[in-house]
Copies of this chain bind each other. A is one copy, B any other.
Amino acid sequence: MSTIRHLTSKIAQQIDEELMGASGTQFSLDQLMELAGLACAQTLAAVYKTDKHPRVLVCCGPGNQGGDGLVAARHLRMFGYKPSVYMPKPGSKDIYKRLQHQCTANDIPILNVQPDPITTLRSALDETDVVLDAIFGFSFQPPIRAPFDRVLRLIKESKKPVVSVDIPSGWDVEGGNTHDDTEGGGKVGLEPDVLISLTAPKEGVRLFKGRHFLGGRFVPAAFAERFQLNLPPYPGFDQIVELPSAGQKL
């Protein structure tokens, strides 16, 4: 059996364009984000149960990754969790506004980041059981802009369990957690316990040692073949499948 393909940032971008493009599959962003966010919520729910980890802090960046987080927050609410959304730089696209509104309509607090987003995050982390990291996606390029540099440091310092979406925030999409933190000893990237790769894993997570899931069960077979993705079979009608961790055999 061939091993699953790990994508460069460029190929991941190309796949997204083909999934949505007029000459491709013509998925809308609404469709893909709904399925991706559902897979993220299901992954968190597969590892952290509502009784022990009811309070989820969903940390959203300003791009599509943040949109996945907003969708995940809504599904987590449906699953019985108590999610809160931390979004210091809301995206400007219409879709984020709608997704944010849908959270509000589901009684999910969007945390007020005024006057200081770091103060907000610090107290939010005190009152959370698990963090969903939907900050940066596969188009991330360093350096990390404020306030996200401090956001990542605070999440790490909190020692709360972290579930990262697609690529742990701060990681080089192809190199892994290689960027130095200019203000301290280690690297800038989060070290999540759980990762949910979307469509296919990225190059940078080859050595990821936590529990690793795959979501995004919407890639046409002919398409997966053309890109030689070698995706594993999903069980039954599930929307996620667990992958072996680094070091384990496929």
Contact = CB atoms under 8 A, between A and B. Distances in A.
Nearest to A24: B105
A47 B77 CA distance: 28
A127 interface: no
A31 B33 CA distance: 9
A30 interface: yes
A239 B42 CA distance: 10
Chain A interface category by residue count: 35 or more
A198 to B, nearest CB: 15
22 contacts: A25-B101, A25-B102, A25-B105, A26-B98, A26-B105, A27-B98, A27-B102, A30-B31, A31-B31, A31-B34, A34-B34, A42-B237, A45-B237, A46-B237, A74-B218, A75-B237, A78-B217, A79-B236, A105-B220, A105-B222, A106-B222, A107-B222
Given A25-B105, A27-B98, 19 more contacts: A26-B98, A28-B30, A28-B98, A30-B34, A31-B34, A34-B34, A34-B35, A38-B239, A41-B237, A45-B236, A74-B218, A75-B237, A78-B217, A78-B218, A78-B234, A79-B236, A105-B220, A106-B221, A106-B222
